[in-house]
Structure 1
Amino acid sequence: MTRYDLAVIGSGGGAFAAAIHAIGLGKQVVMVEQGTVGGTCVNTGCVPSKALLAAADARHVAADPRFPGIGTSSDPVDLPALMAGKRDLVESMRSEKYVDLVTEYGWDLLAGTATFTGTPEQPSLEVTDADGRVQQVEAELYVVATGSAPWAPPVDGLDQVGYLTSTSAMELEELPSSLLVLGGGYVALEQAQLFARLGSTVTVLARSRLASAEEPEAGEVIEAVFADEGITVVTGASMSAVRRDESTGEVVATVVVDGARRDYRATHLLVATGRRPVTDGLGLDSVGVKVGDRGEVVVDDRLGTSNPRIWAVGDVTGHPQFVYVAGAHGSVAVDNAFTGADRVLDYTHLPRVTFTSPSIAAVGMTDEQASRAGIRCDCRVLPLQYVPRALVNRDTRGFVKIVADADTGLIVGATAVAQAAGELAAAAGYILNAGMTVEQVANLWCPYLTMTEGIKIAAQSFTTDVSKLSCCAS
């Protein structure tokens, strides 16, 4: 039996944040990982997907005739070379930002599958490596940071046809000639545009509208952008069955749209309908840790579980699935567990970004959410044609929307669809966190010819006809 102050199960962003913070408190730490060190973000999520999105965007821009005098061309994609470059980037970042840090900080790393054993009062871990050897680990406290994995809905025939997920799609060595994308959330939208821009014929089958968690204007803009790029979008589509045509080898998806059954065909099917926490096989029941309906570890607002010696962080908690949330969880859980800091995270101003092109970014409440909260809303939607940076870019597809309290002028939400909209969401997050009003933002300094200027102009639109402003007017 090896004893530690803290045992961390998993090795993603939340796990590393917890381990690093615990080492800073002088604790002895062990980390257990059954797969590849680094978790989802660096290996199969943010890093590889955004690297490929950037490559696809470069190809798309190369063939975009919007700038007079600039020649355009776009050769077929060498997918094996593109994937090799992506792997090199992933391996480099995994080494520098994860593996090397284990040695630098000095905690132990065990390769194997962790299962809780013992009793709720005296929990321990049984770690089984690839050769079947078992090591017993005991700690004062434990952090579960096992993340989440792609989830597929129960559709007749889905398990038989073979389908891609956001993970397996990142490892393809041959570009699909055609692709059905099931889903309308951020992963589905990013993957649809990625493969379309690499040269696949793409059809999106979305159960409701696109980007349904965001303002309706966002989905409308992206649907129009997709149409311009040759991506077919079917909204209100409920998939009832899927099969493979034996004569052509194509996947045939049967969906119900407006009460009518339709078939859609493609060489490949990508299921992007969300992710579920990874808790199977952990033995949480045996140590008194409650698990929710979707497999999430149930935690309180301090990230403690129903067992006072076991904490959970990141996607496995069912909290917002962003790596920056997981990172914040790690330090908060360790502070609360070892020092009784009683820290609580507030997601009210949590920014969220979908990395399509143009991007969707938002912070705070949507118009509908504010109304449901009893706020009398005053909202403005500023088309990008009134943002000088968008005019210079020759891309005015999108908008900036501000949701304000009509009684106080307090800004309670902001959404942007624009190039580099993530930067607007960060700025809007600072504005909301500072409790600023529309009037205050309208009178802020803002550099000319930046996309962030769109927030200021949107604020000015509450009291001014911005169509009559000089382009340099403040």
Structure 2
Amino acid sequence: MIEINVEGMTCTGCAAQIEAALQQVAGVLQASVSYTERKARVVAQAGADPERMLAAIAALGYRATVNEVAIVASAEPIASHDEDDSRLHIAVIGSGGAAMAAALKAAEGGARVTLIERGIIGGTCVNVGCVPSKIMIRAAHVAHLRRESPFDAGLSVTPPIVLRDRLLAQQQARVDELRQAKYEGILQSTPAITVLRGEARFQDEQQLVVALSDGGERVLGFDRCLVASGASPAVPAIPGLKDTPYWTSTEALVSDAIPNRLAVIGSSVVALELAQAFARLGSQVTILARHTLFYRDDPAIGEALTAALRMEGIEVLEHTQASQVSHDNGEFILSTHQGELRAEQLLVATGRTANTRGMNLEAAGVKLNQHGAIQIDQGMRTSAVNIYAAGDCTDQPQFVYVAAAAGTRAAINMSGGEASLNLDAMPAVVFTDPQVATVGYSEVQAYLAGFETDSRTLILDHVPRALVNFDTRGFIKLVAEAGSGRLLGVQVVSAEAGELIQTAAIAIRARMTVQDLADQLFPYLTMVEGLKLAAQTFFKDVKQLSCCAS
């Protein structure tokens, strides 16, 4: 390893910039840069020239010198551990939310951890999921408000000029910054965690074989192993599709241009978030939904979203599937029962599939469900005694906060503890506009679980915050147990629905009744006050209340 002292860095973005430059130098196998330590650590092939590394850093405007004491010829990962270390050894496959939470919790508990990553550190959320998508969605929302808002009568409209290259640079800079601060930097500063670059597969229930990124293989024994390998976009088996340059969400988020005409196959979270974002940035968008939008949820959700999207000029084709896809002369041609649909670009967003293929999980005795996801219990245990799993590669809901919570609990259990993850009051948010937020049971789910329910739906015409915003699209629905009034579930379609759903989750977790909720103090002129008003509809006609009445 070669350690380089670097002067002139002012932020984590500088570190990321230097790291990227070092990785382009001939002979460099791995580079990590710490802004806080003002150091770069490089693993390189024998004979690699440190002067070229210094030159790469100097070309960026930083001053660098080699720490002579730290030059060690090595092709091993940074901070490798003594194999004779008697501490519990935990192998973690992946480096996303579940993997990081588990690795850090295990290290905190005294274990030594080997974290194995075949690609970029940080997993889906920070690199190609939550973070870049929400940045793009927010930019699109601002573009939409400049073009159109409820206050156009008094505020002049200024149609935006979309400079996609600059938006993309801003988006990627924040992604790089967060990856360095929340993933790479933390790994670099945690001596108990070794990062091993390569692709892991199981040899048996106690050993992994890692195909190293720089060539060769390494057999890695472990006491416990966590599989946190994430998921990848699912691609439906539509004739002709695989022979076309279609997008998944990964390509869409880093596209260097906004297509004039975009077709979207999918009817759930990612499909609708990105469809609306592209429409607001200038695309003419058509959505092909095999059923209706959000058909697995309360029907009112899909109806409200469909109406909102159509009001913005987005074409929503329900009960429509592509039977054939081709690409000719820069254009996609989709065959449907309603005729031919042509578009400049095609986005396929039909869910995500667990990354479990090629891992030889059967050799370790790990069972998968019919969709290829790892089956786990509430303690994140798989069917193999020393192997655990967490995150999107499992049969749990695919949310990064669920993954992180599962990873933490898995680490506790791998270290001899007994922790479980209860998802009965798991909130979920869709970042369309209006947003969709849910927690607990829908009416149908409650019925299937054996509950007799009493439900109320409040339209937003009765929520003061929505009225003063001049945006009453959507509703708030409470599902309660008949008789007791205990809150079982909440479904919301509204602006800022994601900001109020956690209050509902806490109420459900606390086993509050709708009367309890109606009796609480909520600040006036907030969207979350809508929960109180919805609870009051079980007992009162809210149309007859004064604006602040309890």
Q: For the superposition of Structure 1 and Structure 2, which TM-score range results when normalised by the shorter chain?
A: over 0.9
Kindly indicate whether residue 474 of structure 2 is the aligned counterpart of residue 391 of structure 1. no
Provide the residue aligned with 1:63 in structure 2: 147
**Contact preservation (8 Å) 1:184, 1:207:** yes
Instruction: Quote the offset at 1:158 in angstroms.
Output: 0.7
Provide the residue aligned with 1:307 in structure 2: 384
1:5 to 75, 89, 106: 89
Instruction: Quote the offset at 1:115 in angstroms.
Output: 1.6
Provide the residue aligned with 1:28 in structure 2: 112
CA distance in 2, matches of 1:37, 1:233: 37
CA distance in 1, matches of 2:258, 2:264: 14
Q: Tell which deviates more after alignment, 200-209 or 330-339.
A: 330-339
CA distance in 1, matches of 2:517, 2:155: 38
Provide the residue aligned with 1:242 in structure 2: 325
CA distance in 1, matches of 2:461, 2:99: 44
2:230 to 134, 147, 169: 147
Q: Residue type of the partner of 2:112?
A: Q
CA distance in 2, matches of 1:425, 1:24: 32
**Contact preservation (8 Å) 1:2, 1:137:** no
* Alignment TM-score, normalising by the size of structure 1: 0.95
Provide the residue aligned with 1:94 in structure 2: 179
Give CA deviations for 1:21-59 in whole Å, capped at 9, x if unaligned: 001111111101000000000000000000100000011
Give CA deviations for 1:61-81 in whole Å, capped at 9, x if unaligned: 112241142122122311111
**Contact preservation (8 Å) 1:8, 1:31:** yes
Provide the residue aligned with 1:225 in structure 2: 308
Kindly indicate whether residue 486 of structure 2 is the aligned counterpart of residue 410 of structure 1. yes
Q: Which runs of 4+ in 1 moved over 3 A?
A: 1-4
Provide the residue aligned with 2:536 in structure 1: 460
Provide the residue aligned with 1:444 in structure 2: 520
Kindly indicate whether residue 547 of structure 2 is the aligned counterpart of residue 471 of structure 1. yes
Q: Residue type of the partner of 1:385?
A: D
| Structure 1: gaps of 5 or more residues | none
Instruction: Quote the offset at 1:313 in angstroms.
Output: 0.7
**More contact order relative to length (CA 8 Å, sep ≥ 6):** 1
Q: Residue type of the partner of 1:301?
A: Q
Q: Residue type of the partner of 2:527?
A: M
Kindly indicate whether residue 148 of structure 2 is the aligned counterpart of residue 83 of structure 1. no
CA distance in 2, matches of 1:58, 1:132: 47
1:113 to 181, 199, 217: 199
Provide the residue aligned with 1:176 in structure 2: 259
**Contact preservation (8 Å) 2:262, 2:286:** yes
Provide the residue aligned with 1:269 in structure 2: 346
Q: Tell which deviates more after alignment, 217-226 or 196-205.
A: 217-226
2:451 alignment partner, SS class: coil
**Contact preservation (8 Å) 1:116, 1:282:** yes
CA distance in 2, matches of 1:408, 1:352: 26
Tell me the matched-pair count: 464
Provide the residue aligned with 2:68 in structure 1: none
Q: Residue type of the partner of 2:407?
A: G
Q: Residue type of the partner of 1:112?
A: G
Instruction: Quote the offset at 1:170 in angstroms.
Output: 0.8
Q: Residue type of the partner of 2:195?
A: L
Give CA deviations for 1:200-256 in whole Å, capped at 9, x if unaligned: 000000111111232211111111111111100011112211122x3x532111223
Provide the residue aligned with 2:30 in structure 1: none
1:351 to 427, 432, 447: 427
Give CA deviations for 1:103-162 in whole Å, capped at 9, x if unaligned: 222211111111222x33xx2122222332222221111110000000011111111122
Q: Residue type of the partner of 2:208?
A: L
**Contact preservation (8 Å) 2:378, 2:422:** no
Q: Tell which deviates more after alignment, 464-473 or 446-455.
A: 464-473
1:316 alignment partner, SS class: coil
| Structure 2: gaps of 5 or more residues | 1-81
Provide the residue aligned with 1:327 in structure 2: 404
Provide the residue aligned with 2:12 in structure 1: none
Identity %: 42
1:70 alignment partner, SS class: coil
**Contact preservation (8 Å) 1:180, 1:202:** yes
Provide the residue aligned with 2:395 in structure 1: 318
**Contact preservation (8 Å) 1:76, 1:199:** no
1:404 alignment partner, SS class: strand
**Contact preservation (8 Å) 1:353, 1:362:** yes
**Contact preservation (8 Å) 1:2, 1:138:** no
CA distance in 2, matches of 1:396, 1:383: 8
Give CA deviations for 1:258-282 in whole Å, capped at 9, x if unaligned: xxx4221111110100001001221
**Contact preservation (8 Å) 2:376, 2:395:** no
Provide the residue aligned with 1:200 in structure 2: 283
Q: Which has the larger radius of gyration?
A: 2
Q: Indicate the RMSD between aligned Cα atoms, in angstroms.
A: 1.4
Q: Residue type of the partner of 1:424?
A: L
CA distance in 1, matches of 2:415, 2:544: 59
**Contact preservation (8 Å) 1:190, 1:354:** yes
**Contact preservation (8 Å) 1:165, 1:272:** yes
Q: Residue type of the partner of 2:472?
A: T
Change (3 A) 1:173 1:433: same
1:42 to 101, 119, 126: 126
**Contact preservation (8 Å) 2:267, 2:294:** yes
**Contact preservation (8 Å) 2:478, 2:491:** yes
Provide the residue aligned with 2:446 in structure 1: 370
Q: Tell which deviates more after alignment, 292-301 or 43-52.
A: 292-301
CA distance in 2, matches of 1:13, 1:176: 32
Q: Tell which deviates more after alignment, 134-143 or 187-196.
A: 134-143
Provide the residue aligned with 1:253 in structure 2: 334
CA distance in 2, matches of 1:373, 1:311: 28
**Contact preservation (8 Å) 1:114, 1:282:** yes
1:108 alignment partner, SS class: strand
CA distance in 2, matches of 1:379, 1:262: 41
Q: Residue type of the partner of 1:254?
A: S
**Contact preservation (8 Å) 1:214, 1:362:** no
**Contact preservation (8 Å) 1:241, 1:253:** yes
Q: Residue type of the partner of 2:157?
A: T
Q: Tell which deviates more after alignment, 90-99 or 326-335.
A: 326-335
Instruction: Quote the offset at 1:2 in angstroms.
Output: 4.2
2:415 alignment partner, SS class: helix
CA distance in 2, matches of 1:306, 1:404: 37
Q: Residue type of the partner of 1:109?
A: V
